[in-house]
């Protein structure tokens, strides 16, 4: 974050974790997003790496904290603690390595086992799409899988920078929408409670307005989105 950026200017802090097998490019995604760099000689992550960047979403400054967890099994016990507080996760595979795609299920199960968030926002990331000639996972197969798991999906290239910042903006926007909807839900419940407490003295219009939001939200959730 820029040193001139006041902490008071930050509307939200989002912790996002990068999950995936070894050598799928998680560390390079982190490096490209936070520093706009790519390092071919990058070493395998040991334990956990962390960096952050401020994005502006809907005129709000969001500090995105990105945690890169090691893919090797021997580091999983260390990394498990870093699921705590995460509100978003990228499940990363290498489009040139089919096994890394097949292992996404294992990472999804780990999220279910260790996440402390009920509505963790997930996005499937097919990295290294600059290596098209070596592709082993088709985009169609990945889209079908992401839709079956109710995840967003993008292909990226940490080497060229393709879709890297866009992916983080997409997941931050969805997290922000979830926060807004949760706040609206809380307001609706508070309005109903106040209405009951005051035996109907609370404005009917307030209750109807809150209820109308609930209907619109339900319709939006049922409409489906294309990734």
Give tens-digit pLDDT for 65-114: 999 876 555 555 665 677 889 999 999 999 999 999 999 999 999 898 88
pLDDT of residue 69: 77
pLDDT in tens, 173-215: 999 999 888 765 555 455 445 545 555 454 455 545 544 555 4
- CATH entry, 7-175, from 3.40.50.300, 3.40.630.30, 3.40.50.720, 3.40.1280.10: 3.40.50.300
Average pLDDT value over all residues in the chain: 81
Task: Report the predicted TM-score, pTM, of the whole model to 2 decimal places.
Answer: 0.77
In 48-175, beta strands by DSSP E: 48-57, 60-69, 88-94, 121-127, 152-155
The residues, ordered by sequence, that sit 6+ positions from 96 with a Cβ below 8 Å of its Cβ are 128, 131, 134, 135, 136
Question: Cα separation of 180 and 199, whole Å?
Answer: 28
């Amino acid at each position: 974050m820029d040193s001139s950026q006041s902490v008071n200017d930050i509307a939200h802090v989002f912790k996002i974790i990068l999950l995936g097998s070894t050598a799928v490019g998680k560390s390079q995604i982190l490096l490209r997003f936070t520093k706009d760099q790519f390092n071919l000689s990058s070493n395998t992550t040991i334990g956990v790496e962390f960096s952050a960047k401020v994005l502006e979403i809907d005129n709000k400054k969001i500090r995105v904290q990105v945690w890169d967890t090691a893919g090797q099994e021997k580091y999983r016990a260390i990394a498990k603690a870093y699921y705590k507080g995460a509100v978003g996760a990228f499940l990363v595979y290498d489009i040139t390595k089919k096994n890394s795609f097949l292992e996404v299920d294992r990472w999804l199960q780990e999220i279910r086992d260790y996440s402390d968030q009920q509505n963790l926002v997930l996005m499937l990331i097919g990295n290294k799409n600059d290596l098209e000639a070596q592709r082993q996972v088709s985009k169609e197969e990945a889209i079908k899988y992401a839709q079956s798991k109710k995840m967003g999906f993008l292909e990226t290239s940490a080497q060229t920078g393709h879709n890297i910042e866009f992916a983080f903006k997409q997941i931050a926007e969805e997290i922000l929408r979830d926060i807004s909807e949760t706040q609206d839900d809380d307001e609706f419940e508070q309005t109903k409670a106040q209405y009951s407490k005051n035996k109907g003295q609370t404005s009917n219009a307030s209750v109807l307005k809150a209820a109308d939001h609930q209907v619109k939200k339900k319709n939006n959730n049922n409409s489906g989105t294309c990734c």
